[in-house]
Amino acid sequence: MKNVYVVTHTEATHHVQRLVGGWYDTSLTENGRMQARKIATTLCNEIGERNIPIYSSDLKRCVETADIFAEAFSTTVIFDGNLREASWGEADGKPQEWWNQNIVHKPINGNKLDHRVFRNAESRREVGTRIQSSLDQIVGKLENYTIIITHGFALTFVIMAWLKVPVENMEYCHFQPRSGGVTLLREDDLWGSRTVIFLNKLDYLTD
């Protein structure tokens, strides 16, 4: 069976500063680095293999998480800008209160797939298209175990792309993200069926 562990990056500075993330390029906090080491160590013990492929967003908070994983698994990381979080345009780096006051909600019966919640923000169609492109390439090289390190909002699109949901149908689905959450995706060898084994599991922070 092919197993893909999708890890959302751990605590970053914009979390504790209550700033909007997106493409605002922040680093992990010291707590975030400790969390990443804990998850990587626990996951490495569970998998029991090293030198497995790791793919990661190229934003700093994912790069730093991925580097910790690379050390634990004695491997290198392939960084991919298509695995980035959604760009929230003018909201990136702003206080969360600014987000709450200025977000542009979708009109009733409007097109959610192409709607932009802030000026210069990405649409769901744009996020879904680039993440699907990245997943197609990763799936073409799947080994028994693969790790993807990405972001909270992006996680939904990774899962939908894994389940072969067409971008045109990526309008409404949302999986509640958690920093440091681990999701396991699996493809069986007999039928090629793809499954979500578990979602946003936080046990790796405590085991």
The answer to whether 52 and 147 have CB atoms below 8 angstroms apart is yes
The answer to whether 80 and 134 have CB atoms below 8 angstroms apart is yes
Percent of the chain beyond pLDDT 90? 90
pLDDT per position as a tens digit, 19-35: 999 999 999 999 999 99
Return the number of other C-beta atoms located less than 10 Å from residue 182's C-beta.
22
Confidence check: pLDDT of 108 > 90 = no
Quote the tokens at residue 90: 């003018």
pLDDT per position as a tens digit, 141-192: 998 999 999 999 999 999 999 999 999 999 989 999 899 999 999 999 888 8
pLDDT per position as a tens digit, 118-130: 999 999 999 999 9
Give the residue-averaged pLDDT of 100-120.
91
Confidence check: pLDDT of 207 > 70 = no
Residues in the chain: 207
Average pLDDT, the chain: 96
Query: What's the predicted TM-score (pTM) here?
Result: 0.96
Percent of the chain beyond pLDDT 70? 100
> In angstroms, how far is the first alpha carbon of the chain from the final one?
25
Buried residues in 126-157 as b, exposed as e (16+ CB within 10 A):
bbbbbbbebbeebbeeeeebbbbbbbbbbbbb
Torsion angles phi and psi, residue 41, rounded to 5: -65, -45
Give the residue-averaged pLDDT of 66-94.
98
> Angle, nearest 10°, between helix axes 30-47 and 60-73?
40
- Predicted confidence at residue 154, as pLDDT, reads 98
With cut-offs at 50, 70 and 90, classify the pLDDT of residue 111. Answer: confident
Distance between CA atoms of residues 195 and 118, nearest Å = 34
With cut-offs at 50, 70 and 90, classify the pLDDT of residue 70. Answer: very high
Confidence check: pLDDT of 106 > 90 = no
